[in-house]
Amino acid sequence: MAVVVVPSLVAAQAGGQKRFEVEAGTVGEALRGLPVSDLLFDERGELRPLVNVYVDGVDARQSHGLDTKLGPTTEVRVVAAIAGG
Amino acid sequence: MSPVVLVGTKKGLFLVRGDDARTSWEVEGPQLTGWQVFHAVRDPRDGTLHAAANNWVYGATAQRSTDGGQTWDRSEGLGLPEDSELKLTEAWHVEPGHASEPDTLFLGGAPGVLFRTDDGGTTWEVNRALLEHPTRERWQPGAGGLCCHSIQIDPNDAKRMAIAISAAGMFVSEDGGESWEPRNTGVAADFMPDDKYPEVGQCVHKLLLHPARPERFWQQNHCGVYRSDDRGETWERLDKNGLPSDFGFGLALDPSDPDAAWVVPEEGAENRVTPDGQLGVYRTRDGGGSWQRLENGLPKPAWAAVLREGMAYDDRSIAVGTQSGSVFVTSDGGESWIEAASQLPPVLSVELA
């Protein structure tokens, strides 16, 4: 079962849960199934531009993005881009 | 109940609690850490806290708390319909609805949009008439985006509403939001290249109706301070009457005196700090015929900046929050001020609860 790890700020919006075990075929399916998916995707279902996703340590953009396949032990890590003020 | 100032900051929400005399204040928080709280309000009908909270990465949200801010729930599905070809960029202001509609609230956002909930904030529906307003193509975003920041509901009629958008102007609805009519006659838009008094495009910074005389509106505009006694049909400009500038953001009223108002002038659009190196709050008690600077207890030297949600009032006090992280409170009409909190993150909003 794949695992999704989200940043603390997002975890706080899910009752403090930081790790989610998910049954999903792709990165996109895994993220869209989270109770905080609306923070990661906008109202068009597009990944917000400052949300980065790493699959087993590799930027998903360097693979197949949200279509990247998940294996049984894959770790998907959501990382906020360096931004703010 | 002891007073609380809900202080929305760039780094979360703080609750500044006062004693019954409103002379001693303590800071609690932050809550919603990591979120820019553009506005937070306590619904007087049921005590629920509501917040318009935004994040650079995770977007615009509406949040509510039924336990005084210990825990928060995020509303579901907040966003704009696909056919609008617009996306919600920021949540700006939450306004509890009319007393006769206890589960109804309104949420203003950018780009120039208004939402309504009839289930206490679980779900929100965009106002179509405003979203598809025929003048929308003439609206222009200001530095804060195209924000719907003021939502006023007539206490005598739930269907009579007024909103303000920067920079689109004031709009009034007589039918609960089914239609919206611009109300900007006589309000300047000096930044426009040709027509300085267009039908729409005015940069209202804050719009308030007087709760005891709801046909009277006040507005602090990018280009002046104004009062209307006919629900925005006509406006009288008031900033030539002793204010040091026409520019400012915040606005406060006295619920027992329709002729009173308080503003915090800034030097101007090109230098948004209080003039003369001090924080001065200006008060009128004659409907804007004259203004008096109030400074007892306010810092000097100071180059302060107060944002559009940075002033609030109730029946006893006025609160002013600055971008330098202070909250000042007066409970004698502005004759004296207490620094209720300092060294907070930049203050985006205050509300008295």
* pLDDT for the residue numbered B156: 97
Does residue A84 surpass a pLDDT of 70?
Answer: no
B17-73 tens-digit pLDDT: 999 999 999 999 999 999 999 999 999 999 999 999 999 999 999 999 999 999 999
Q: Name chain B contacts of A42, Cβ cutoff 8 Å.
A: 59, 79, 87-88
A45-77 tens-digit pLDDT: 999 999 999 999 999 999 999 999 999 999 999
B238-267 tens-digit pLDDT: 988 999 999 999 999 999 999 999 999 999
* pLDDT for the residue numbered B344: 98
* pLDDT for the residue numbered B8: 98
- pTM of the predicted model, to two decimals? 0.97
A39 at B interface, C-beta within 8 A: yes
Mean pLDDT of B200-227: 98
A48 at B interface, C-beta within 8 A: yes
d(CA B16, CA B42): 13
Q: Are B281 and B291 in contact (CB under 8 A)?
A: no
Mean pLDDT of B338-344: 98
d(CA B90, CA B295): 34
* CB-CB under 8 Å, B56 with A39: no
* CB-CB under 8 Å, B88 with A39: no
Q: Name chain A contacts of B33, Cβ cutoff 8 Å.
A: 9, 12
Does residue B211 surpass a pLDDT of 70?
Answer: yes
> In the 3-class helix/strand/coil scheme, how is chain B assigned residue by residue?
CCCEEEEEECCEEEEEEECCCCCCEEEEEEECCCCEEEEEEECCCCCCEEEEEEECCCEEEEEEECCCCCCCEECECCCCCHHHCCCCCEEEEEEECCCCCCCCEEEEEECCEEEEECCCCCECEECHHHHCCCCHHHCCCECCECEEEEEEECCCCCCCEEEEEECCEEEEECCCCCCCEECCCCCCCCCCCCCCCCCCCCCEEEEEEECCEEEEEEEEECCEEEEECCCCCCCEECCCCCCCCCEEEEEEEECCEEEEEEEEEECECCECCCHHHCCCEEEECCCCCCCEEECCCCCCCCCCCCCCECEEECCCCEEEECCCCCEEEECCCCCCCEEEECCCCCEEEEEEC
Does residue B349 surpass a pLDDT of 70?
Answer: yes
Does residue B1 surpass a pLDDT of 80?
Answer: no
Q: Are A47 and A36 in contact (CB under 8 A)?
A: no
- Tokens 């940075």 found at: B310
DSSP 8-class letter at A24: -
B71-95 tens-digit pLDDT: 999 998 899 999 999 999 999 999 9
d(CA B219, CA B232): 10
Does residue A85 surpass a pLDDT of 70?
Answer: no
* B34: nearest CB among A9, A51, A83: A9
By CA distance, what is B80's nearest residue in A? A43
DSSP 8-class letter at A48: P
Mean pLDDT of B208-237: 98
Mean pLDDT of B160-177: 97
Give the mean pLDDT of chain A.
95
Does residue B143 surpass a pLDDT of 70?
Answer: yes
Q: Domain-by-domain residue ranges, chain A?
A: 2-80
B297 at A interface, C-beta within 8 A: no
Residues 26-65 of B with CB under 8 A from A: 33-35, 55-59, 61
Q: Domain-by-domain residue ranges, chain B?
A: 4-352
Is A2-80 a CATH 3.40.50.300 domain? no
Q: Looking at the domain B4-352, which fold is it?
A: Methylamine Dehydrogenase; Chain H (2.130.10)
Interface-testing mutation among B58, B73, B125, B348, with chain A (most A C-beta atoms within 10 A): B58
* pLDDT for the residue numbered B240: 85
* pLDDT for the residue numbered A83: 66
Least confident of B1-5, B174-178, B264-268: B1-5
